[in-house]
Chains A and B, each alone.
Chain A
Amino acid sequence: MAAVSVIELLRQQISTCEAQLASLRQQLAEAEHLHRQQQQGLQLKRMEEQTRHNTASTSLVHDMSYGIHDDFRSEIFAALSHPEEENVPPRRWPLENSEYKRYGRQLIMPEIGLQGQLRLKQASVLIVGVGGLGCPAAAYLVGAGVGTVGLIDGDVVEESNLHRQILHSTARVGMTKVDSAIVALSSLNPNVNLVAHPARLTPESSLSIMQDYDLVLDCTDNPASRYLISDTCVLLGKPLVSASALRTEGQLMVLNNPPLPPGGANGGPCYRCIFPKPPAFETVVSCGEGGILGPVVGTMGVLQALETIKVLSRGVKGLAANGTTSPEPPTLTMFSAYGSPMFRTIRLRGRRQTCASCGAKATVTPEALKSGSLDYALFCGSVAPVDALTANERISVDNYAKIRTEANPFTGSQPSNDSHILIDVREGVQFDLCSLEGSVNIPFSEISRTPLKPMREDVAGNHDATPEEGWVAALRSHPEKPIFVICRLGNDSQLTVKKMKALGLDNGGKRWIGDIKGGLRAWRENVDQDFPDY
């Protein structure tokens, strides 16, 4: 049984590696190709022969690369073969013939038209984060012919990204997200200048990276980045199209529009104006923890592209220069996939007078940003793993595995007769996916809702606390059995142990309550490799 699963695992690994290798070969071929073209641009005929020879002998090159190369090549050929002519007659039409064809369906709309398309072509936008939001946003902006699109992300593609991050592919798992996106985007529209920033945005780098762009899209996944991007946009005078998504909900805002300098009362509000205080860090949930439905985050990314096209085709540079108010008052669009109505549009206020970033007495300055004195991680709270317990309140997965097997070989079959109680505090849906035999599920959301003091009835006489109290009473009814708490990664389990003790479930120290270090992830890594990794 074990040998079979090892064989299967190895087969999977080999096929994954082969796919990565094929993808790397494809990238290498493309890079070499471009390099050669730049180097030997003047020796056109010879290069063409050589290219033909190379591609014919490189059987591993992906079909798609021909599309990229052919388009690039014909452009370069066209540019190089008419060097004198270009200076003499002015171009007859403002766009290339191929552009009329490619963008025809949007060109004939009054909202875009020739002027709008030219503005898109001259514009440059930076997409911060090439994930669930950034992928669809980039696809539509590149498709629409935005002249320059910069992509910044420090992550690599993972298998668990693919259900929603539509530019990446199974073959490109392990590649940087920026490189993977560029492969997809350059085949979508080779006329767009794509700029790679394969790194995380930091307070030290944000000003220099963002200053070259006309507009920024916040497609990131954490509060610290959201404040950093907003602050930098205010300092540089760039409009910001910000979106976020979690589970079944999304939020969308166009911020700092018009992008007046700090203190400019008619400028659009910034992220700090709407959310002056960051969320308590223990309530911040990532898509990895909370879950995300692909079309939900996709919807938000597509809406970001839409708002960006609206701002750019209207002329972003004009807005900043003449200081007029935006034609649309600022709004926050809320999307609830399972709500009715699905969309709510909230009217926002203008800039907050006291805003630390865009207010009259702003304290966020370029110097403060560059020197690193604005500690965004600190402002938004610690994101470090929870370390709430002492050593004797914790047990390793290996030692817990011994307790399960040695104390009672039939552990799990009759948990009520067991020597101990194992509490799994993951949410019910996750518990239903997979769980340890004999474990009892008490979702962490229920635990954190439970008040420490008995709750009074509210005015309407509701007994909201009754079901929450249920689990406490159940544990109290077995006062002697030690309680082991487990969760997915080993954070919520620690907070649960603290809460259980605060509720007096340890009988003043007579009953042992502790957490299983590293949670089910550690269990999978050290004890049971077959336990699902979701």
Chain B
Amino acid sequence: MAPAKVPPGHFPILYFAAAASFTGKSTEHLAAPLPLGRLFATLDEKYPGIRQKVLDSCAVTVNLAYVDMEGEEAADQKLVIQEGDEVAIIPPVSSG
């Protein structure tokens, strides 16, 4: 899914379900380092409207671990996405 090589100074981001539909892609590379608290704003600049329509309800993971975007976990607020970290945007899928 992710392109083979991550260019220096970037991190791969994976989009699932509604996030993939909105961005029209399943993965891309963004510039690192990026504070976690800036992630949604960065994406909303790139894809206007995505924050309110998709991101606000999404789970976010960094290197396959769930991170808190509600601002409750102090450690997550200080987290900075580093070069090569794998970030995933996971919207709730409700159908079945």
From A117-125, A338-346, A429-437, A483-491, the one touching the partner chain is: A338-346
Residue contact A297 to B66, C-beta cutoff 8 Å: no
Does A347 lie at the interface of the complex (its beta carbon under 8 Å from any beta carbon of B)? yes
Known: A249-B16, A458-B46. A347 touches B65 (CB 8 A): yes
How many positions in chain B have a CB within 8 Å of any CB in the partner chain?
37
For residues 27 through 64 of chain B, which have their beta carbon under 8 Å from a beta carbon of chain A?
31, 45-49, 52-54, 56-57, 59, 61, 64
State the interface size on chain A (CB cutoff 8 A): 63
Determine whether B79 belongs to the interface, using a CB cutoff of 8 Å to chain A.
Answer: no
| Residues of B contacting A458 in the complex (Cβ-Cβ under 8 angstroms) | 45-46
Q: By the criterion CB–CB under 8 Å, are B91 and A297 in contact?
A: no
**Who on chain B is nearest to A223 by CB?**
B94
Supposing A280-B52, A354-B72 touch, asked if A285 and B18 sit within 8 A by C-beta, the answer is: yes
Q: Which residues of A contact B93 (CB under 8 A)?
A: 244-246, 249-251
Asked if A451 is at the interface of the complex by the 8 Å CB criterion, the answer is yes
Q: Which of A271-279, A385-393, A394-402, A470-478 contacts B (4 or more CB under 8 A)?
A: A271-279
* B1 CB, min distance to chain A CBs, angstroms: 4
**Residue from A222, A247, A345 within 8 A of B94 (CB atoms):** A222
Contact B54 A280 (CB under 8 A): yes
From known contacts A276-B70, A279-B57, A283-B54, infer whether A336 and B16 are also in contact, taking CB-CB under 8 Å.
Answer: yes
CA distance A225 to B22 in the complex (A): 24
Chain B hits for A332, CB < 8 A? 59, 66, 90
Partner of B57, one of A220, A280, A352, A459: A280
Known: A276-B70, A449-B24. 18 other contacts (CB 8 A): A131-B96, A219-B96, A244-B95, A244-B96, A274-B59, A278-B57, A279-B18, A279-B91, A280-B54, A284-B95, A336-B16, A345-B64, A346-B64, A349-B68, A445-B22, A448-B49, A449-B47, A458-B45
Contact surface of A with B, Cβ cutoff 8 Å: 129, 131-133, 219-223, 225-226, 243-247, 249-251, 274-280, 282-287, 290, 292, 297, 300-301, 332, 334, 336, 339-340, 344-349, 352-354, 445-446, 448-449, 451-453, 455, 458-460, 464
